[in-house]
Chains A and B, each alone.
Chain A
């Protein structure tokens, strides 16, 4: 079997119009050996989940600046589940208050990273989380 790669969809939902941050994250994840599907600007939760399903990704990472995170993450989660993609690791970063981050994480929607988190740390977290998961799968089968 070919060495398994982590597939990540990086999206930039919302209406604000620049995606430099998302592009940087996409590039760094690529440099950490991941296959990154970059989908550009202005996605709706529905589009993000549908693209994630078609691409059969392991991880969805969202870059958020618009302040709509409290509704956005649960909606993406819901759309993913609708498509049988409940297993996807949902994560994100951007301008999100610490309390909100904690709440979303507690509700099990996503692990979020605040502004200024080194992208290498995000990559390392994705890697170790996915590796642990795959090991678990192997143990089960």
Chain B
């Protein structure tokens, strides 16, 4: 059985199986994770974190792979976290992103990890950020997180990154749908992938227009980042160099502002997730509030009555604000 000190030591020494184990601890909310993180925490912050999201099948994994190739060409190392959905029926998951990246497996400058989204809402983003912290401390120049852009939990994952790349492609929903889904709001860089396919030009136009309208609306405010829209053919590696240039430009933009302030704001979210998760476990488990709710409802009170009663019990129980 390994302990936290051993794993932290392994990470400092660059042992990949220590990193792999620490990510497993993050996934399982293992009680050894916090101590391991504490002892490598001074090393966290050196990686540039890139979130890649977009609709299913847009080419996120292929693009992430191409990005890794380009980063390696520039002699940068990269850690990749690829997230796929857990089946709500079986609780299992088929994690297939790695197929598109398999050629990178034997490269010592690349580390690829697959993660299932699992059940709980906040749990995914918490685990993903934890995993990125571990990869960051390991010393990768870049950490890329891929997740399907389908819901709030997934947006929370990419939202924790420094630069968010949204990948769209012709066919898989047009620009309008993307806007409705709020997918443009999270983007720092927009990529129209599958530029070799019909309809890519149209999508480029739609998106450029949408982004332009947005930046006009923002005019007059402090320095704003103008979201670039770029075309790519990930399967051929085309447009990837340009993508990386825009990511670099975004990095310079943030570094010109208050990067540490932005990162700390995102860290506050992580604190919230940890607190929420622990409270959820504690209250509905050992503290017995599930049973209490059940017996409240037996007395034919409404869910709100029962909730009020429970909240009063919790908040009156040493949890009021100072």
Contacts and interface: CB of A to CB of B under 8 A. Distances in A.
B269 interface: no
Interface in B1-48: 1, 16-17, 20-21, 23-24, 27-31
Nearest to A51: B105
B208 interface: no
- A2, A7, A43, A83 pick with most chain B CB within 10 angstroms: A2
B254 interface: no
Interface stretch (A27-35, A62-70, A91-99, A109-117): A27-35
B112 to A, nearest CB: 6
Contacts of A39: 98-99, 102
B106 A5 contact: no
Interface in B87-124: 87, 89-96, 98-99, 102, 105-106, 111-114, 116, 118, 120, 123
- B17, B95, B112, B118 pick with most chain A CB within 10 angstroms: B95
Given A2-B123, A46-B106, A141-B1, A36 B16 contact: no
A55 interface: yes
A38 interface: yes
Contact of B30 (A1, A35, A84): A1
A50 B19 CA distance: 13
B114 A37 contact: yes
A38 B106 contact: no
A137 interface: yes
A119 interface: no
- B1, B24, B105 pick with most chain A CB within 10 angstroms: B105
Contact of B17 (A2, A34, A56): A56
A30 B105 contact: no
B17 A83 contact: yes
Nearest to A85: B17
Contacts of B98: 37-40, 51, 55
A89 interface: no
A47 B95 CA distance: 17
B29 A2 contact: yes
A47 B20 contact: no
Contacts of B23: 56
A33 B17 contact: no
A32 B90 contact: yes
Contacts of A38: 94-96, 98-99
A47 B102 contact: yes
B102 A56 contact: no
Nearest to B24: A56
B92 A29 contact: yes
B112 A54 contact: yes
Nearest to B111: A54
A2 B87 CA distance: 16
Given A38-B98, A38-B99, A47-B106, A53 B92 contact: no
A37 B92 CA distance: 11
A20 interface: no
Interface in A1-29: 1-2, 4-5, 7, 26-27, 29
A43 B102 CA distance: 9
A54 B116 CA distance: 15
Nearest to A42: B102
A35 B92 contact: yes
Interface of B: 1, 16-17, 20-21, 23-24, 27-31, 86-87, 89-96, 98-99, 102, 105-106, 111-114, 116, 118, 120, 123
Closest 7 CB pairs of A and B: A56-B20, A30-B92, A40-B99, A33-B92, A33-B91, A56-B24, A30-B94
17 contacts: A26-B94, A27-B94, A29-B92, A31-B89, A33-B91, A34-B92, A35-B114, A36-B94, A37-B98, A37-B114, A38-B95, A39-B99, A39-B102, A50-B105, A53-B16, A53-B20, A56-B21
Given A7-B24, A29-B92, A47-B102, 16 more contacts: A2-B27, A2-B118, A2-B123, A5-B92, A5-B118, A27-B94, A31-B87, A35-B114, A37-B98, A38-B95, A39-B98, A39-B102, A40-B99, A40-B102, A43-B102, A56-B24
